[in-house]
């Protein structure tokens, strides 16, 4: 079987709809749009646990975050885990990882988070197994102060310039110079943009600003925003800082941040065009599958929220585009997907198979086979270790089908119905139907199906009874 090269471009905190081909009026993304036009675009791809660390855990191992009680932040991947890199290498691939890892430190659980320290600490090979070419770092969240470790060298290199451009350049160097010439390669490029702080280049920011004010989604509610993530206060970005004592600063800083968010995405799009040019220069454009995706979305004021970790589409919905040899062109699929589908799909594209992971291998479908049948996918917030943050006292689970999304919220006494949205009739999730008598039959069915998903995935989450459906899981005694 012919083995194509595989390049995965993982970006951070980019909503599924934040592309011009998805109708976002704030953006011009011609290169990613072109990638979608010559491949498959999944319009219902989801981040199962919409936060950086749990997404990376599930992508890298194929397992649900609840199977290891992975929190929203602060987790160290066990050396005992079989990684995606190891699985793909087992198919005869050279493997490379460039950029943000975010699966080594347990910082921030108490005492705060020192990003500068985390950026300059090497990640031992025991905790990043499976990648024979390593140019990475734990995380930085400062786009003009990035430190990059090469393989086992304990001394990092300081990158001069904007991180997005520099990490793409390292990927181009691997493709054109450093990769083994006699074997297929699997390259994962992980950039932090467009994660806040929203630090775009002046060129890209000017381009976006020239088009006028940022246009919010119909469900944006600025007046309801009660919590600004700490990175929104960063005074070093082009937006400046929010002053809680002066509400008049909120609207202009929000506007500036969102323009910078769009500019960072357009910078990524420019580099996706450069990636295409690089593959053509290397004579590999007809022999390389390119995958573009994000780890979770950005609420950007929708539902009066910022950041991620929420069950709404702006948070859980991620772009997922696959194009290359053997992949059907110009196709769109509304099949609900979850993070756990990535490991078996990437491995399947490399010619392998792993029956020990729960996700779908989409490789046969991508190559022209029938669309898999699926009842729905699990969404979850497993645990929060930081007091005072959302979902520290209560957590949530949900099911996302083609048409509906149903979520429950609660503690060990048993989670209660929380949200029900008809995504077909209400794509912006403005009308919660969970207490609507006319939707009771749908709610009961989804409560039952969510319970079945929890059992199927080995999740002992305490699901209370509702709509005539019994509860299940480890419910605390009364």
Any idea which residue has 């992975």 for tokens?
70
pLDDT of residue 112: 46
Percent of the chain with pLDDT over 70: 93
- List Cα–Cα distances, 177 to 117, 151, 278, 363, in angstroms: 31, 16, 11, 29
Summarize pLDDT for 218-244 with one digit per residue, the tens: 999 988 887 777 777 665 555 555 565
Q: Which of 392, 478, 382, 401 is nearest to 442 (CA)?
A: 401
Residue 407 and residue 416: Cα distance in Å, rounded?
9
Q: What sign results for the dihedral spanned by CA atoms 332, 337, 338, 339? A: negative
Summarize pLDDT for 269-322 with one digit per residue, the tens: 999 999 999 999 999 999 999 999 999 999 999 999 999 999 999 999 999 999
Any idea which residue has 């194009």 for tokens?
323
Residue 428 and residue 439: Cα distance in Å, rounded?
18
Q: Note whether 19 and 319 are within 8 A (CB).
A: yes
Summarize pLDDT for 336-380 with one digit per residue, the tens: 999 999 999 999 999 999 989 999 999 999 999 999 999 899 999
Q: Note whether 429 and 303 are within 8 A (CB).
A: yes
Residue 74 pLDDT > 70, yes or no? yes
Of 61-75, 251-265, 292-306, give the lowest mean pLDDT range: 251-265
Region 397-408: mean pLDDT is: 98
Q: Note whether 297 and 47 are within 8 A (CB).
A: yes
Residue 399 pLDDT > 90, yes or no? yes
What mean pLDDT, rounded, does the chain reach? Answer: 92
Residue 195 pLDDT > 50, yes or no? yes
Residue 449 pLDDT > 70, yes or no? yes
Region 133-145: mean pLDDT is: 92
Domains located in the chain, CATH noted: 5-199+254-366 (3.40.720.10), 393-456 (3.30.1120.10)
pLDDT of residue 236: 56
Separation of CA 478 from chain center: 38
What's the length of the chain?
A: 478
Q: Note whether 189 and 10 are within 8 A (CB).
A: yes
pLDDT of residue 78: 93
Top pLDDT among 389 and 343 is at 343
- Residue 406: beta bridge partners? 399, 420
Q: Give the CA dihedral 305, 306, 311, 313, nearest 10 degrees.
A: 100
Query: H/E element holding 418?
Result: strand 416-422
Top pLDDT among 311 and 387 is at 311
Listed as own residue / partner, the contacts of 247-250 with beta carbons closer than 8 Å and 24 or more positions apart are 250/222, 250/225
pLDDT band at 23 (very low <50, low <70, confident <90, very high): very high
The predicted model scores a pTM of 0.95
Ordered DSSP codes for 9-34:
EEESS--TT-SGGGT-TT---HHHHH
Q: Note whether 288 and 4 are within 8 A (CB).
A: yes
């Amino acid at each position: 079987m012919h083995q194509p090269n595989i390049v995965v471009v993982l970006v951070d905190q980019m909503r599924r709809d934040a592309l011009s081909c998805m109708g976002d009026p704030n953006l011009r993304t011609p290169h990613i749009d072109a990638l979608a036009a010559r491949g498959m675009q999944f319009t219902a791809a989801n981040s199962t646990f919409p936060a950086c660390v749990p997404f990376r855990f599930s992508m890298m191992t194929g397992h649900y975050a609840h199977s290891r009680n992975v929190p929203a932040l602060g987790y160290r991947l066990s050396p005992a885990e079989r990684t995606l890199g190891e699985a793909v290498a087992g198919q005869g691939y050279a493997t490379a990882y460039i950029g943000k890892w975010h699966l080594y430190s347990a910082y921030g659980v108490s005492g705060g988070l020192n990003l500068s320290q985390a950026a300059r600490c090497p990640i031992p090979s025991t905790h990043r197994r499976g990648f024979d070419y390593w140019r990475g770092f734990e995380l930085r969240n400062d786009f003009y102060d990035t430190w990059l470790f090469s393989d086992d060298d304990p001394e990092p290199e300081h990158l001069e310039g904007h991180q997005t451009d520099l990490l793409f350049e390292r990927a181009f160097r691997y493709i054109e110079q450093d990769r083994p010439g006699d074997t297929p390669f699997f390259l994962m490029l992980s950039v932090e943009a467009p994660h806040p702080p929203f630090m775009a280049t002046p060129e890209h920011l000017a381009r976006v600003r020239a088009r006028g004010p940022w246009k919010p989604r119909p469900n944006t509610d600025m007046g309801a925003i009660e919590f600004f993530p700490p990175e929104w206060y960063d005074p070093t970005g082009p937006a400046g800082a929010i002053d809680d004592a002066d509400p008049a600063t909120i609207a202009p800083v929000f506007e500036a941040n969102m323009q910078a968010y769009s500019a960072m995405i357009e910078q990524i799009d420019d580099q996706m065009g450069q990636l295409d040019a690089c593959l053509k220069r290397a004579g590999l454009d007809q022999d390389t599958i390119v995958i573009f995706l994000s780890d979770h979305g950005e609420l950007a004021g929708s539902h009066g929220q910022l950041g991620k970790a929420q069950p709404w589409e702006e948070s859980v919905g991620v772009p997922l585009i696959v194009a290359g040899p053997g992949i059907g062109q110009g196709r769109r699929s509304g099949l609900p997907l979850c993070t756990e589908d990535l490991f078996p799909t990437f491995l399947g594209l490399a010619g392998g198979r792993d029956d020990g992971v729960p996700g779908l291998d989409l490789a046969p479908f991508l190559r022209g086979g029938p669309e898999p049948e699926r009842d729905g996918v699990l969404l979850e917030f497993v645990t929060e270790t930081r007091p005072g943050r959302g979902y520290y006292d209560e957590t949530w689970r949900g099911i996302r089908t083609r048409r509906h999304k149903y979520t429950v919220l609660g503690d060990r006494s048993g989670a209660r119905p929380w949200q029900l949205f008809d995504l077909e009739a209400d794509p912006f999730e403005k009308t919660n139907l969970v207490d609507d008598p006319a939707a009771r039959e749908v709610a009961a069915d989804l409560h039952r199906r969510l319970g079945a998903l929890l059992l199927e995935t080995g999740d002992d989450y305490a699901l209370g009874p509702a709509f005539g459906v019994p509860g299940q899981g480890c419910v605390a005694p009364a």
